[in-house]
Structures are given as C-alpha cells and as structure tokens.
C-alpha cells in the first residue's frame, strides 16, 4: 500500500506530530516557536506531496505562502518573545500565562 504519496504524507504526519509533542511539552517560548516551525514545515511537505500527486502547481503555491507566513511569524514572534523576556526576565510560557485579561 505504500506509494510515494502515502509515504510522503506519513512522513509529513510524523514530523507534524513530533512538532506537536514538542509544543506540548516545552515551556520555553523559543522552543515552542521552533516547534511551530517544525509543524509548518510538515504541513508544507504535505502540500508538496499533494502537488506532485496531482501534478498541479497549487500545492507548491501554498507552500510558498506558508513560507512567507512562517517568515513573518518568526520575525514577529521573536520580537514578542524579546519583549516578554525584557519584561519577565524569563522565557517560561507559564509565567507569561499569568497575563490574564
């Protein structure tokens, strides 16, 4: 049953899940950001696999958008973490969660 498509998708799934696990177990904000990157990348992989499966460019287009989004996200995210770090002197997300509105 393993075709190229399923193999690619399963890989994407594995990578995504690993990112997810990391996201869940980490308290360090930068690690969480890294986890997000891993998951985004996995999602991109799924798109590429799909594109190759159907022979359509849309999957790759989507990957480009994900890329752009990731770039923007990382820059803003890092800036936010920087601010938080200045404020809290820590990168612990649980500390930041005290920021109840």
Smallest separation (angstroms) from other proteins to the CB of 89: 7
Query: Could you give the CA distance from residue 12 to residue 36 in angstroms, rounded to a whole number?
Result: 14
43 binds other proteins (CB under 8 A): no
**Total residues at the site for other proteins (CB under 8 A)?**
84
Q: Give the tokens for residue 45.
A: 């992989």
Query: Could you give the CA distance from residue 97 to residue 25 in angstroms, rounded to a whole number?
Result: 15
63 binds other proteins (CB under 8 A): yes
Smallest separation (angstroms) from other proteins to the CB of 37: 7
By the 10 Å C-beta count (0-12 exposed, 13-18 middle, 19+ buried), 44 is classed as buried
75 binds other proteins (CB under 8 A): yes
Smallest separation (angstroms) from other proteins to the CB of 55: 4
């Amino acid at each position: 049953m393993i075709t190229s498509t399923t193999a690619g998708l399963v890989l994407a799934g594995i990578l995504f899940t690993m990112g997810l696990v990391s996201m869940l177990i980490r308290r360090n904000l930068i690690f969480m950001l890294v986890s997000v990157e891993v998951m985004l990348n996995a999602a991109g992989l799924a798109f590429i696999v799909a594109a190759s499966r159907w022979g359509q460019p849309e999957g790759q287009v989507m990957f480009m958008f994900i890329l752009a989004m990731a770039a923007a996200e990382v820059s803003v995210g890092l800036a936010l973490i920087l601010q938080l770090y200045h404020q809290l002197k820590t990168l612990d997300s649980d500390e930041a969660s005290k920021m109840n509105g």
